[in-house]
Amino acid sequence: MPVLLFIGLEDRGKMERHWQQDLEELKRRLLWMGSLSERAVHQAVHAVLDSNQDLAKAVHAEENAINEMQIEIDERVQKLFALQAPMARDLRFLLAVSRINGDLERIGDQAVSIAHAALGILRHPPVMEYIDLPRMTELAEGMVRDSLDAVVRGDQALADSVLRRDDEVDRLRDQLFREMLTYMMENSAVVFTAFEVILVVKNLERIGDHATNIAEDVIYFVAGRDVRHPDIDRR
């Protein structure tokens, strides 16, 4: 006994329009979540750079909103998969959104860690200049912003430019680590503050890594190419 499935062409056209609207709405929600994550990072780092406790405290409210968005977006992705069997670029886009969602939530987590470190740093009198911290912050924030713009526009070239910036983040991380170690060896009174700055630097490095993941996912859904681990021989 055959299974019969009748779908009129007119209905198919309507379904297709709905589907594209659903994908657009998903993209908008992802961007909204991205803007929350960006803001959380900005507030957290500027709590340190501007010695502003209120900014550090504001990050926790952002985190709740980010976590809610993560759950909502994963539910939307699951519903879209259940609604229609997506193919080709739509399939890759949904899988990419699922991964990007995880990266954005972790950027939020990193912001919370930075805010936590900021409160530790601000409990002590300022003892040092954070020469390269503003530069590293700008760089990591720019990577997150551009990786999200690349998602919206499906812009491979912009995604590529994000990937190229990751080495510079690692270079600034190493430089900041050296500076903090020097401070610690010269003066044991700054050990605690320098330790907290080291944690902030670690978090910024991870934020750059997440932006890199997002950029790789853009290239995956736009071009169908997996550019992670370029050193691997793909048979």
What does the binding site for a copy of itself look like in residue numbers (CB under 8 A)? Answer: 1-9, 12, 64, 67-68, 70-71, 74-75, 77-78, 81-82, 84-87, 91-92, 95, 98-99, 102, 177, 181, 184-186, 188, 191-192, 195, 198-199, 202, 226, 228-229, 231-232, 234
Between 8 and 54, whose beta carbon lies closer to a copy of itself?
8
Least separation, in Å, of the C-beta of 232 and a copy of itself? Answer: 6
Between 91 and 131, whose beta carbon lies closer to a copy of itself?
91
Between 52 and 74, whose beta carbon lies closer to a copy of itself?
74
Least separation, in Å, of the C-beta of 59 and a copy of itself? Answer: 15
Least separation, in Å, of the C-beta of 126 and a copy of itself? Answer: 19
The residues, any chain, with a CB within 8 Å of residue 108's CB and separated by 6 or more, are: 36, 37, 40, 62, 63, 66, 67
Between 51 and 182, whose beta carbon lies closer to a copy of itself?
182
Between 54 and 186, whose beta carbon lies closer to a copy of itself?
186
Least separation, in Å, of the C-beta of 58 and a copy of itself? Answer: 17
> How far is it, in rounded angstroms, from Cα 98 to Cα 102?
7
The residues, any chain, with a CB within 8 Å of residue 52's CB and separated by 6 or more, are: 46
Least separation, in Å, of the C-beta of 50 and a copy of itself? Answer: 25
| Inter-residue long-range contacts of 193-197, CB under 8 Å, 24+ positions, other chains counted | 193/120, 193/121, 193/124, 193/127, 193/128, 194/128, 196/117, 196/118, 196/120, 196/121, 197/48, 197/117, 197/121, 197/128, 197/130, 197/133
> How far is it, in rounded angstroms, from Cα 118 to Cα 102?
24
Structure tokens at 168: 């510079």
